[in-house]
Amino acid sequence: MVYIDGAMRTYLFLISLVLPAQDFANLHIEKVAGGFTFTEGPVWSRDGYLLFSDPPENKIYRLSNDGKSIYREASNGANGNTFDTQGRLYTCESKSRRVTRTDSKGKIEVLADKFEGKRLNAPNDIVVRKDGHVYFTDPAFGAQADSRELDFYGIYHLPPKGPLALVAKTPGRPNGIALSPNGKLLYVADSDDRLVRVYDVGGNGVATNGRTLISKIDGPPDGIRTDDKGNIWVTCNNVSVYGPDGKFINKIDFPETPRNLTFGDGDYSTLFVTALKSVYKVQLGIKGSVQY
């Protein structure tokens, strides 16, 4: 894939990474774009391109074989992004404190901006289950904490029909969020307490029984994804991989601190990582879990 500018550098790391039924002895980590302020919110489109956010620059970028372009100007501090089965884009807008959905014609619809009459803190990351149930995190970092109206950090559930519901109030700030391949487990990273919580998700989309699955993560966890085997991929000081039981498997180190990640390319076996000022990709040979 050639969408690399002249400043691109290629990094080769020899990493022994063992996953169930997979054995990676050599991983080729490639920098595919750089020069940003703070990259976040990567998501792969079925139409063959990557979207990711630069919240401080107030933009969403598009990366494809044709190169890098701006997908959206004035993004309201867009952070986390995801798609649903209809190809609609869901975005957490940290500056406008809302969650929006963009259809194929570019029409933007506000899905959530208040809870019990008070403005959300700063929606951060989001996932949509195959049946349309939406889950997102609402922490508050930096200046966001000084002007918030809610006195808690929250994890929310927005059903296809019905009002916004609170999944949980968390003592630490919730960040990345992901679903298991079958959509029956919801994983949420807690950046302050350096852990990942898991919730049971019923057929009605309601998430309950929150408990700690992973603790003592190497650095504040941010983005989180699952692969088709149910393994959990967490960005922290590196990309750490855990089994469905929460046990550590191995890690992948990057030239810059990873912030978020997604699986992409045609077979969803390439890992794209947003890391501070750059975007990297790693061809893994294991497929990501995709709800859309």
Which tens digits make up the pLDDT trace of 65-97? 999 999 999 999 999 999 999 999 999 999 999
Which tens digits make up the pLDDT trace of 118-136? 999 999 999 999 999 999 9
- pLDDT band per the 50, 70, 90 thresholds, residue 3: very low
Which tens digits make up the pLDDT trace of 134-178? 999 999 987 777 789 999 999 999 999 989 999 999 999 999 999
Nearest alpha-carbon partner for 276 in 292, 291, 255: 255
- pLDDT band per the 50, 70, 90 thresholds, residue 25: low
Q: HEC states along 50-83?
A: EEEEEHHHCEEEEEECCEEEEEECCCCCEEEEEE
The predicted pLDDT at position 145 comes to 77
Three-state DSSP at 15 gives coil
The predicted pLDDT at position 147 comes to 86
Rg of the chain on CA atoms, in Å: 18
Separation CA 61–CA 269 (nearest Å): 21
Separation CA 58–CA 210 (nearest Å): 34
Nearest alpha-carbon partner for 68 in 76, 77, 59: 59
Residue 102, pLDDT > 70, answer: yes
Number of Cβ atoms within 10 Å of the Cβ of 213: 19
Which CATH architecture does the domain made up of 10-283 adopt?
A: 6 Propeller (2.120)
Separation CA 64–CA 71 (nearest Å): 11
Q: In the structure, how many helices (H) and strands (E) does the chain have?
A: 0, 29
Separation CA 19–CA 249 (nearest Å): 7
Residue 100, pLDDT > 60, answer: yes
**How many CA atoms, within 13 angstroms, populate the side-chain half-sphere of residue 241?**
22
- Model confidence, pTM: 0.92
Strand 278-283 relative to strand 27-34: parallel, antiparallel, unpaired?
A: antiparallel
Count Cβ neighbours within 10 Å for each residue of 71-92 and write b for 16 or more, e otherwise. Answer: bbeebbbbbbbbbbeeebbbbb
Nearest alpha-carbon partner for 223 in 73, 52, 4, 56: 52
Which H or E element spans position 210? strand 207-214
**How many CA atoms, within 13 angstroms, populate the side-chain half-sphere of residue 52?**
30
The predicted pLDDT at position 285 comes to 86
Which tens digits make up the pLDDT trace of 32-74? 999 999 999 999 999 999 999 999 999 999 999 999 999 999 9
Separation CA 285–CA 185 (nearest Å): 24
Which tens digits make up the pLDDT trace of 246-291? 999 999 999 999 999 999 998 999 999 999 999 999 999 899 999 9
Q: What is the DSSP string of 212-232?
A: EEE-S-SS----EEEBTT--E
Separation CA 64–CA 49 (nearest Å): 5
User: Rounded mean pLDDT of the chain?
Assistant: 92
